Structure 1
Amino acid sequence: MTSDDFRSMCTDDLWILYQEITDVLAEKIVTKKAALELRLCELDTAERMRGVRKRRSYPPVFAKYHNPDNLVQSWSGRGKTPLWLKAQLMAGNRLEDFLIDRPRGEGRRRSG
Structure 2
Amino acid sequence: MTKAELGNLSIEELKKLQKDAAEAIATFENRKRADAIAELKAVAQKHGYKLEDLVGGKGTKVARPPKYRHPNNPAMTWSGRGRQPNWIKDALGTGKSLDDFAI
Please give the TM-score of this superposition, normalised by the length of structure 2.
0.52
Residues 1:89 and 1:25: Cα distance change in structure 2 (over 3 Å): farther
**Residue among 35, 56, 64 paired with 2:60:** 56
The one-letter code of the counterpart of 2:67 is: K
Q: State the structure with more CA Rg.
A: 1
- Counterpart CA distance in 1 for 2:10 and 2:92 is 63
Which protein is richer in helix relative to its size? 2
Which structure 2 segments of 5+ residues have no match? 1-5, 38-56
Q: CA 1:65 to 1:35, structure 2 compared with 1: closer, same or farther past 3 Å?
A: closer
Query: Can you list the C-alpha shifts for 1:37-79, whole angstroms capped at 9, x where unaligned?
Result: 322211022223344x414242x43321111122232211012
Report 1:1-112 matches (<5 A): 23-24=7-8, 26=10, 29=14, 33=18, 34-51=20-37, 53-58=57-62, 60-100=63-103
Partner Cα distance (1:82, 1:75) in 2: 7
Sequence identity, in percent?
Answer: 29
Instruction: Quote the RMSD (CA, aligned, Å).
Output: 3.4
Report which of the two has the higher share of strand.
Answer: 1
TM-score using structure 1 length: 0.49
Q: Which has the higher contact order (CA 8 A, sep 6+)?
A: 1
Aligned-partner Cα distance in 1 for 2:67–2:16? 60
Q: Distance in 1 between matches of 2:26 and 2:97?
A: 54
